[in-house]
Amino acid sequence: MPPARKIGYFTAWSIYDRAFAPADVAVERLTHVNYAFAKLEGNAIALGDPWADVERPSPGAVYGDGDLRGNFGDFNGERSAVRQRNPHLRSLISVGGWSWSGGFSAMAASEHTRAEFVRSVADFLHRYRFDGVDIDWEHPVEGGMDGNPHSPDDARNYLLLLRELRQHLDHDAPPPPRFGRYEISIATSAAPSVYRHLDLGAIAQVVDHINVMTYDYAGSWSQATGHQQNLFRPSAGDSGICGHDTVSDYISRGVPPDKVVLGLGFYGRGFGAVGHHGSPVAGLPGLGCAFSGVPSGTWEAGSFDYKHLRTSHLKHDSGYSVHWDDAAKAPILYSAAEQVLITFDDTVAVSWKADYALKRGLGGIMIWELSQDHEHELLLKICEYLG
């Protein structure tokens, strides 16, 4: 069995307020970087942020004629200092995401428009020296951002799109820059109501691996507080989804274990006005309780980067206490004074997940997203298990 994948998403917007550049990525510890995101313009792949992607000069870099600039240059340039730190790193361009999946349904609906997209992907990979593509259609048939078009034929068209992409990249595209074959991956939901539409077994025959987004089980949309990425069924606040059940269902639907990549969110979800509702489980205050609203987060309401939690809420004088749900293998943070509960993954929780991936023979671990870690703490813990 090949070494487990350690896939980290790098977001183009990390270079701005987050002040996290490709040089800050622990590329030595990763097998793959998925760059988020490219978008669809018409039926073709297009740059998501031209300045960040291909225009920004990197501090200290010396560019020759034809050298790539921007984040793409840092990850893919032949003379890039980042690339030289790990020549074996595979970089994939991720297309779509939550905000830019609206064009997939129409693009995938006909052979002609699919062919236009496929050709554009091949040209994009060659031009910017990527090692493959990650299709992040959120989501075929149902789900995703409000207002995104859907069709009952989306699932069938998605499979056709992936098959045609595989055929073109293998036989008709310019050769890959570094490795013998372009990789194709997809990102998929952990919600059965969403992934039930996909022929996962057939898709697995086409793609190299499937990044399962086994997080966001609970949040502002929930009826009660709950873990947002628990590995097993919890003691309270059961959303009906857990990592183990999702993985098992994917495998039962025909996906080989070594093509299932378990997703980890390097962030937590918060719930407000929790304390006065009581506590249904001893030792886990606020879990499984009603709530009202969400607290201010790191960059958006209710969402907390792990580095934010690590440097504030996890300090001994923060007013928050950590509680471990041994059934779920997941922690919570709770403040009685603020009536706030935050569910997240710490080093212990990611240890359980990395060990689980190893013992089940999964394809590895996927991280959303790298800028949210604290001094590579969670990533290094994963590497203790996966190498």
Q: Which residues are catalytic?
A: 138
Quick one: residue 358, left, alpha or beta (phi over 0 = left, psi -120 to 50 = alpha)? alpha
The CA distance from 218 to 224, in Å, is 8
Cross-strand partners of 9: 34
The DSSP bridge pattern shows strands 267-271 and 340-343 to be antiparallel
Q: Please state the φ and ψ torsions of residue 39, each to the nearest 5 degrees.
A: -125, 175
Alpha helices (H) along the chain: 50, 70-76, 81-85, 104-107, 111-128, 154-171, 192-195, 200-204, 243-252, 306-308, 347-359, 377-386
CA 173 to CA 159: how far, in whole Å? Answer: 20
**Partners of 343 in beta bridges:** 269, 332
Q: Quick one: which of 129, 230, 135 has its CA closest to 179? A: 129
